[in-house]
Amino acid sequence: MSAEDRPQINLITPPAPDLHTFPEALARVLDAVEIACLRLSLATKDTDTLGRMADACREVAHARDVAIVIENHILLAERHGLDGVHLTDGARTIRKARKDLGEDAIVGAHCGASRHEGISAAEAGSEYVAFGPVGLTGLGDGTHADWDLFQWWSEMIEVPVIAEGGLTAELVEKFGPVSDFFGFGEEIWATDDPAATLRALIAPLG
């Protein structure tokens, strides 16, 4: 796989990172592996907690020229100087996010395993579409985004596509030719050395 064809890497935060230790752990990963974008994917609804984590992660990411987006919180993206939003409801709020954040912001959408939702998101102006999970996660309703969806998308649609959820090195190798990005989160943060784990997962990309 040539360098220009190799998928880029998106990094997804754990749902409840420790504000005091996570920025340092994040910095180690960003220093070890070239990351295209960091996604804040936090379980809390507390805006103060979200804001403090957004500020801490933005400092780490922007110091390394890595873009940072937050899931769903359009207001917080604007307030804390983030680069955009990752919407988890498919195409529904893409136009509002674009209107509120402006043309330069990153606006992307997760569309599960739905080709229809992905097309709707692309038509609404989503900068990328994420499908997943592609592997076993134990979450959701057991639906998987299969290889055929990615192959079809890569052949028919110009909007970049992210493969995420339950990734293994084997799945990275399989989906590499039909994906523009891989999104890694829980696969690495639960391990003792997230940077080394991530390097091992993306080793098949060369």
Find tokens 């985004």 and name the residue.
145
Peptide bond just before 204 cis, omega within 30 deg: no
Structure tokens at 115: 């080709």
**pLDDT confidence bin for 119, thresholds 50/70/90:** very high
**pLDDT confidence bin for 5, thresholds 50/70/90:** confident
The angle subtended at Cα 172 by Cα 166 and Cα 175, nearest 5°, is 100
Are the C-beta atoms of residues 174 and 204 closer than 8 Å to each other?
no
Question: Is residue 4 predicted with pLDDT exceeding 70?
Answer: no
Query: What average pLDDT does the segment 80-109 reach?
Result: 96
Q: What is the pLDDT of residues 33-56, one digit of tens each?
A: 999 999 999 999 999 999 999 999
Find tokens 């709020």 and name the residue.
93
Structure tokens at 1: 């796989």
pTM tops 0.85: yes
Domains of the chain as residue ranges with CATH: 8-205 (3.20.20.70)
**pLDDT confidence bin for 93, thresholds 50/70/90:** very high
CA 83 vs CA 6, 121, 204: distances in Å: 23, 19, 30
Give alpha helix (H) positions in 63-180.
74-79, 94-101, 115-124, 147-156, 169-175
d(CA 75, CA 62): 19
Contacts (Cβ under 8 Å, ≥6 apart) of 135: 144, 165, 166, 167, 168, 171
